[in-house]
Structures are given as structure tokens and as C-alpha cells.
Structure 1
Amino acid sequence: MNKIVLKGDIVFTPDKDNFKTYKNSYLVAEEGKVIGIYRKLKEEFKSYPIKDFTEKLIIPGFVDIHLHAPQYPNRGLGYDEELIPWLDTYTFPEEAKYDDLDYAKKVYKRVVKDLWRHGTTSAIVYSSIYKESTKLLMELFIEANLRAYIGKVNMDRNTSDKLKEDTEKSLLDTEEIILEYKDRSTLVKPIITPRFVPTCTSDLMEGLGNLAMKYGIPVQSHLSENRQEVEWVNRLHPDLKDYASVYNEYNLFGQTKTIMAHCIYNTQEEMDLMAKNQVFAAHCPYSNYNLSSGIMPVRKFLDRGIPVGLGSDISGGHSLSIPNIMVGAIQASKMKWLHTNKGLKPLTSSEAFFLGTKGGGSFFGKVGSFEEGYALDALIIDDSTLGDTEGLSLEERVQRFIYIGDDRNIVEIYVEGKKVDEPM
């Protein structure tokens, strides 16, 4: 049996409103799952291998629920444009390169390595339209022992000629990946990935919804990121009342587990449907700033009980660091608070930390916390270089790491109780 004990200063958020802290305590796991946290190690666990990280922080691994792996070379490029021109000028030309497996391997190895470096132990990832490079990306995550849902992008209209798929082939390629990878790994799974409504015909969306329902596969896409995009969807589907209804019409909106990225301009009815169907919202503050998209009203979603997590949205976003994105989410919420005449309460540090760990992690199941039965996905943080720790609470030390720490403070990384070394 795989057994391990991590000793140190343990911090996590079992709910969004509170940090739970254990000074100089023992985190015990068996078969990759948390058994409990103890101030004094019980006799029955004293034979377990102990990793002593006294005076270091032990926190859950970070969770990124929205990023585009083939856009990684475009980080920092094109941010003078808004969403649609940026897609046409930068994104689609880059994504068209991934029929070249040598090129894909070069980029995707960097993506996986940099996710690991930044302490992201679980991610929900878009590949390109290309079947073989999508399989390559899945294999790299499997080899790295990082948790992920990975999706082959589907689009058969309103894109460049090279990326415009034949509808039937798009569906056949997607089903092939599902059959090959749905039981290939306990950590890495396929996810249905229509890019967004403007690039998917009704036939394609219907076929993808059928695949999701047939095999019980989750879904990811984009929703209400940009005003121009919302108006475009309304013109394409005048028979349906809103953007969310298009996905819902084709069983792509919570009929299986679903994530929708951005959600800046959702109507009340769309939010009600998300709450009813428990559709996740991926909050991507850096991307929303960079592409002048707007500020998601996160508080409205949380108050309605809609599950929310954080996304880097590479390469609309420029950083893979979930702590950076936590800070961005807090700052965005403060601007929203001011712009609503202090009507939408800003995010607290515990809420932002929750979104970047258990909030997004719950899409995977019991991930992102140290409660009993949760996966032992953990980061060991040496925050001694950030300033004196004397007199600071564990909560304050975590807050300081979020704001001014970086990957150099991450000492070791664990997924399902196993130490994860740098991907080769």
C-alpha cells in the first residue's frame, strides 16, 4: 500500500470563506488519498515514510481549468487587439501548425514542464483540431503524472481554411480519442471541446452532444467573453433566446460535467441555468484584461451557487501561475466593486485561494483540499526568502506567497501522494 506522511505547516480552504491551518502537523495519506491531519502523529502511522518539511508550508496543488496548449508560443503577443481580431491574426495561424508532430512535441513539452514548475497539478486543456497532436499532448501529461482533461478542438465554420474541419471527420476523430483514452489513465481523460458556438455548426454541436451523452464525457467551451461575440451568436441562432441556450439545446450545458470560460456578459437567465445544471464558470482575469473583454462579476456566480474556478487562458492570458491569477481575480473584483457602487463585494484571499484549488478541483472530484478522502495533491512551499515568518499566522504567510512568491519557492510537488519530478 502506498503510504506517506508530510510534516509541516498545513493550509487549505475546505470552503471559500475560511483558511484551515495546522501548525507543525502531520498530513497522512494512503493510496494517494488523505486519511487525516494530526497535531501529534498516531502510533498506527509511525511506521509510514515521513517527509519532514518543518517550517515550510504545505498547500494543495493548483488547478487551472482553462488553457489552450497550442497557443503557448503566443503569450504576450497581440494584446492590442480584441478577441475576434486576435483570434484571426494570432491564434488561428498558430493553431494551424499542430499537424506537424515535431513542432507540437516541442511546444507541448514546454507547456507540461511549465505547468509543473508553477505547481499546477490539475489542468483542463484545449489542444488543436489535430487528432494525433492531441494524443501526443495526452501522452505527455500521462508521462508527467499530472492530472488533466484534454480536448481535441472542434470547429467546422467561421475559421481559416486550414482549421475548418469536415463535420463528420471532426466527430469521428473525437470519438476515436474518447475510445482510446477514456480508460487509458486514472489521471488524464478526454473532454468534448467545441471551440465556441460561432465556429461550430448545429450538426457538429449535435454530434458532440451525442458523444458526450453516449460515453459520459465532460464538455468545455466559451461563453459570453466579448460583446461582439455575444451579438454574433444571437445573429447565428435567432431562434434561441441566448448564448447558453445554444449549448443547452445540444446537450453541451451540464448534461454531463461542463465548464464555460469567461462568462462576463451572462444574462440572469443564463446564470440561473448554470446554477440549475451546475455548469462551472472558468474565471480568466488576465485574459479578460489583455483582450479588453471586461470583468466577470464573480460574486454574482458565487452567490447563486454556480461552481467557479480559475483559468490562465493561455494565451489570452500571459501567465501560467495560478497564484498570479488569484491576485488578478482579487484585483478585478475590487474594480468591479467600485464600478457597481460597492454593490458586488470583492473576493477575499481565502475565496481566491479556494477558486484556484478546491473550487476548480471539484470538477475532477475530490481534488484541491486536504479533507479526508481527497487526493493528496500537495505543494511544499519554502517562503523563508519572502521575509520574516516570525509573528505571521499561516494564513498571512500563504497570502504573502500568493502575492510575492513564485515557482522558486516550490520545493516539492505531489500528485495522488507521489512525488512528481520535473518532466523530461
Structure 2
Amino acid sequence: MTSPALKEVPFTVYYGTLVHTPTLGELEVIVNARVGVDETGTIVYVHKHALHGSVEEESPKNAKIVRLNGFTEFFLPGFIDTHIHAPQYPNCGVFGNSTLFSWLTKYTYPVEMALVDPMKAQQVYEKVVKRTLAHGTTCCAYYATIHVEPTNILADSAYGNGQRAFIGRSCMDCGKPIYNDEDGEGSTLAVINHIREKDPEYALIKPILAPRNANKCSEGFMKWLAAKSKELGLPIETHLSETEEEVEQIMQMFPHCKTYAEIYDYHNLLTEKTILGHCVFLSEEELALINERKCGISHCPTSNSCLTSGEARLRWMLDNNTKVGLGTDVSGGFSPSMLTTARHAVLVSRHVAMKTKKDHDKLSVNEALYLATLGGANVIGMGDSLGTFAVGKKWECQQINIESLDLFDFLNPSLEGLQAQNLDDLSKFQDLIDKWVFNGDDRNVRRVYVNGRCVVDKSSLT
């Protein structure tokens, strides 16, 4: 079966408003834009202020036309979830008064073990893929379970629904006896081979090697995963410094290393293809090492709040030019929505600022949107093809309609003023974006495009 994100499509010209964040903190609004997207889903031109123009000579005469009108409907790059546990989706919102370790024992491992049943895995994975897509998440870095067949089912679900995805079989050969790899290397290779057979060019889905934690994998297995990553050019995802208790316990297991980050580096797991989840309790030395190795960090503010893990010093990371994206961390995070995660990234930064007494520590809405789009693209190593509207990148975006947010004409910008880049109109549009980030949800997402193909269309729904 061909994925809907790989099916044949005609050259398409999109007319309407584009909204993206080409740099951290900058919201660029392009009204009356005309975008040409070729049959491979690649943007071949972006022209401003061309809504009423004709299709240009560079577009075929039989090009498909898609039009949006006004500024209450616009295209925004797809969200990129850099840290999500697909098998935990049934537990969204279920964490009680737990902290990380008690939550893992009571809720997480039992539901993950239940997904050894392929029928249950199929049910859960179809729902989480469809739900994240419906929220405008075009790409996910997924963790699965230790099980081969269910992990392959997750890969098939992402492929079959047209979502770009990194599929990570959770690697644990030093976990609890009831949740432990019997053949970690063989199981990992089995998943890699399945994905390669399904999508040989990794055009849509790609394996990602996922040592769960430093204390859940043997030294030999971690070094094997690092070697396999280098051999096959595959990315790595893992957890780092999520709670103080976790850091303390793991450091006792590796007395020859000075820091948690150094443990991974000792096993060759810190590379420019590595995604490190959480990173709440990093030292200056660790951040310097992470940056030297060009790793990416997945900031998970919702999860860190739900499990009272801590408040990551996001501004400190950004000031040090660290690659940072956002992760829902379902189901430590209660929602599969990246919009919710962006909202909480702003709020958590304000809690940090209340403690440091520094307004500089506050994250703006525009910065949160950058982290959810281009920031995430950089973390997964696809910043050159995703995250903004630019020639040579993929048309991978969401069509947003904010008319349901109770807008008022006297507060709205004018289309003409936006086109003229009038500061007052731009300020009013910024207010609308802020309103959407804090009040919007999946109902505002009308269409979702992956690889230039429409894979979700809710435009006919009331």
C-alpha cells in the first residue's frame, strides 16, 4: 500500500497567507502569497502579494489551485513532536499524584506490556497517529515498546496514515525482568529491516535507535547501538536528567563518569543525530558537551509539570545556541497536542522567571512556535527541508482557521495593512496568533499536508 504522503499529486499552486518563524522570536506574516509546489511535494517558488495574479509560466497549465482568503485562515508549518511515547497514549491525563518512578511502575510499564498483543497495539497506534495528525503534527519522533511486531505496527500506522515519523523500539536489556530485552540487537535489527522494506529510501518513516535510559541498557548494548547508528546513519533518542532522583541513582551506577551526559558520551551516543529528552538538571559542563557534540534537546514542559520533575532552563539553553525542540512526552504529558505543549513552554518559562527575577527567562509565543516547528526540524536533522516556507523545502504544513475564536472586527488587522507591513496591523495580527496559541485546539486545524500531500482534510466538517 502506498502511503497517502507518497501518492501521485499534480503541481499545485497555493494562494493565501503564510505564517512562520524563520528565526527564533520572529513571526513572518506573508499575506497574498503564491506558492508553487511540484509533484515531489517540494516548494519551487514563494511569491509575496500575488493572490490575484495568474499562475506563472513556471507552473504547468494544468496546475491544481488551492486558495485561502483573508488572514483568519493561514498556512503554518507542521508541528514536529521530538519526544512522544506512542504506547502510552491510552494513559493521557492519568498520572494522579505520581512522580516519575512511581508513575512508570503504576501506569507506564503495565500499559506498554499490554501492547505485546498486536490487536491492542494496532488499536492504540492507529489512534495516536490519527490524533497527532489531527492536531497538526506532521512529524513525530516516536518511542514504541521493546516488542518487535508491535513496533512494526507503529511504523505501518504512521506510513499508512501519511505521517512522517521516526520509529524507535525501546531498548532495555537491563530493565525489570518482566520488561527486558532478550535479544536487543536482533530485535533492533528486525525493526530496522521492516522499516527499510516498507520505505527503502526513508522518504517518510525512518528507524531511530532508542536506548531508554543509561540505567536500562548494558554498556555493551549502548556501544552496539552507537556503532549501528554510525554504520547506518540512524538517529538516536534517549532520556537525560529528567529528575534529580534519576540523576542521583544513575550516577551511582557509573562512578567512572562525572556527569549523566558523560555516560552517554562514554558510550559514543552523543552525536549530531542524537535527541535528548527533558534535560531539566544539566550542569554547565554537560550543556557544553551537548553543544560540542551538536546534539538536540527535546524540551517537554507539560510532562515535567505533570510529574513535578522540574523546570528546564530553556533560555539558558537558547542563549548557548543549543538545538532545542518541543516534545509532548505522551503520556507524562497529558496531551498529544503540540499547541498545548507550546503553550506550556511559555508558562513554564514564566515560572522560571518568577524564581530568577529575570524577564529575559520568559519565552515568547513566537519563540514557542519556532521551537514547535523549525526548532524541532533542526533537532531531528531536517531543518533544511522542514519547518519554514522556503524554496527547496517540503510543503509540510497545517491549514489553520481561527474564525471560531470569537474575533472582533474592531480589534482585527486589515488585509491591506498587513500587506503593507503596517506596524499597527502586524501588532493586531500578533495578538490573534497569541489568542490562537492560548485558546486554540485541533478544531482550528482544517487540513494537514505531509510531503506536499493533503493527509487530513476536515474542511468539509462543520
Tell me, yes or no, if structure 1 residue 371 matches structure 2 residue 390.
yes
- Is the 8 Å Cα contact of residues 262 and 281 (structure 1) preserved in structure 2? yes
- Structure 1 runs (4+) greater than 6 angstroms displaced: none
Partner letter of residue 402 of structure 1? V
Which residue in the other structure is 1:53 paired with?
68
Distance 2:195 2:319 in 1: 36
Q: List per-residue Cα deviations over 1:57-114 (Å, max 9, x = no partner).
A: 1111111110001111111112311111111111111111121101100111110110
Tell me by how many angstroms 1:412 deviates.
1.1
CA distance in 2, matches of 1:305, 1:143: 36
Among 322, 325, 328, the residue aligned to 1:309: 325
2:258 is matched with 241
Alignment check: 8 A CA contact 1:9 1:24 kept: yes
| Aligned-partner SS, 2:22 | strand
- The residue that corresponds to 2:185 in the other structure is 171
Aligned to 2:126: 109
How far has the Cα of 1:329 moved from its partner?
Answer: 0.2
- Secondary structure at 1:314 match in 2: coil
1:395 corresponds to 2:404: no
Would the alpha carbon gap of residues 410 and 37 (structure 1) be closer, same or farther in structure 2, given more than 3 Å must change?
Answer: same
Alignment of 1:9 with 2:17, yes or no, is: yes
Normalised TM-score (structure 1): 0.95
In structure 2, the partner of 1:325 is 341
* Matched residue, 1:181: 195
Partners in 2 of 1:203 and 1:137 — Cα distance?
A: 27
Structure 2 residue aligned with 1:288, among 304, 320, 344? Answer: 304
CA distance in 2, matches of 1:280, 1:218: 11
Q: Decide whether aligned partners of structure 1 residues 13 and 285 sit closer, same or farther in structure 2, where only a CA change above 3 A counts.
A: same
Indicate conservation of the 8 Å contact 1:175/1:211, yes or no: no
CA spacing shift, 1:406–1:232, aligned 2, 3 Å: same
Distance 1:208 1:250 in 2: 9
Identical columns (%) = 32
Q: Supply the distance in 2 between the matched residues of 1:225 and 1:422 (Cα, whole angstroms).
A: 37
Maintained 8 Å contact 1:116/1:422: no
Structure 2 unaligned regions, length at least 5 = 1-8, 414-425
Q: Which residue of 2 aligns with 1:36?
A: 45
SS in 1 for 2:21: strand
d(CA) in 2 for partners of 1:351, 1:135 = 35
TM-superposed deviation, 1:233:
1.1
Q: Which amino acid counterpart does residue 56 of structure 2 have in structure 1?
A: E
2:68 is paired with a residue whose SS is: strand
Asked if the contact 1:389/1:397 (under 8 Å) is kept, the reply is: no
- Kindly indicate whether residue 220 of structure 2 is the aligned counterpart of residue 203 of structure 1: yes
With 32-41 and 198-207 compared, the bigger mean Cα shift is at 32-41
Structure 2 partner of 1:218: 235
Q: Let me know the Cα RMSD of the aligned residues.
A: 1.7
Q: Which residue of 1 aligns with 2:446?
A: 411
User: Is the counterpart of residue 355 in structure 1 residue 394 in structure 2?
Assistant: no
Q: Report the equivalent of 2:350.
A: 334
How many aligned positions are there?
Answer: 419
Counterpart of 1:84? 101
Extract unaligned runs of 5+ from structure 1: none
Q: Secondary structure at the match of 1:361?
A: helix
Q: Distance in 2 between matches of 1:389 and 1:18?
A: 25
Equivalent residues of 2:448, 2:457 under 8 A apart: no
TM-score, structure 2 as length reference: 0.87
Post-superposition shift, 1:401?
Answer: 1.4
Give, as a single letter, the amino acid of the residue that structure 2 aligns with 1:369. Answer: T
Report the alpha carbon displacement of residue 157 of structure 1 after superposing the two structures with TM: 1.7
- Name the CA shift for 1:11/1:177 in 2 (closer, same or farther; >3 Å): same
Measure how far apart 1:388 and its partner are.
Answer: 2.5
Aligned with residue 132 of structure 1, among 129, 142, 149? 149
Q: Secondary structure at the match of 2:69?
A: strand
For 1:97, which of 114, 124, 129 is the aligned residue? 114
